[in-house]
Structure 1
Amino acid sequence: MIAVSRSPTAADAPAEVVLTGDLRRPARLTVAALLSWPQHGARVTFECAGSGIRRHRFTGPRLHDVLTAADPVFDPTRRKDRLRFLIAVRGADGHHALLSWAEIDPDFGRAPVLLAVSLDGTPLDGTGPQLVLPQDRCGARYVSGIEAIRVDGGYAAWH
């Protein structure tokens, strides 16, 4: 699930990630735009069912920082409202992963999840960023060529 190549478009435009959902500031971000956030590095080892142990070095902004800048619609009158939010990530190859806001929130799981802009020193400009979960033993949630991230707080009906 490492970098996948996308078919070039007529204009060879850089890959974009579309941030949607329960956000006050939805956005379209390129790898170049993601470089404006503080960059963090992660050396990771994870297991792939098909190819065994993989070791890589990634750099990029934290997912929490990028999504916080998009201003999720948390209800300040509801205690711990952010805990009901889910984050769905979709890659250009159709691969999906789901995270909870609590996983990446510094007050809860504090997982240092990255939107990687480089893989082993190679920029991901053409393919788009990659979801990197350094805490995961299995590489199944490493989504490459991310094209969409949706933040969804629609689980309020459970309350």
Structure 2
Amino acid sequence: MDSDNDIWASSDDENYDRVIAEKDWERLQENHGNDGYKEGIIEGKEVRMQRGFDQGYIEGLDIGKQVGALRGKLSTYLTFYKQIEPNETITRELEAIYDELDKVDVQHVFSTAYFDSNEADDDYVSPQDKIQQWQQKIDQAIQNHVAITY
């Protein structure tokens, strides 16, 4: 019995099996490629978010410490001018600055312009500049008092 007469050994079946196997292989490659791509995107986002968090934590901690130091300095001046050398004028001025600092939260220090490097905003004030402005207000209030007192 030769293979030309055998219905089970036809070349059409072999071609059919090969075509099915190739389609299965292509589908597997496509699925694995898509899964790998998705996993890569997720992994990339996680790494990027972690770096952003780490950087933000360091910057936020630094600015927080500076704002805390200003509040402490201001509290010391207020105590001095309320209890040791009473002076209503400078006390009111320092209390106004303290109230301003007391209302500060992350949106005041880190505005959306801080995070948008593409957008040029003429009204933008960096966190360091804001700290300097508050420091100057405190220094100016003290200097005005010293100049008037002496």
Structure 2 length normalisation: TM-score? 0.29
- Which has more helix, going by share of residues? 2
Larger relative contact order (C-alpha < 8 A, sep ≥ 6)?
A: 1
TM-score normalized by structure 1? 0.28
Q: Which has the larger radius of gyration?
A: 2
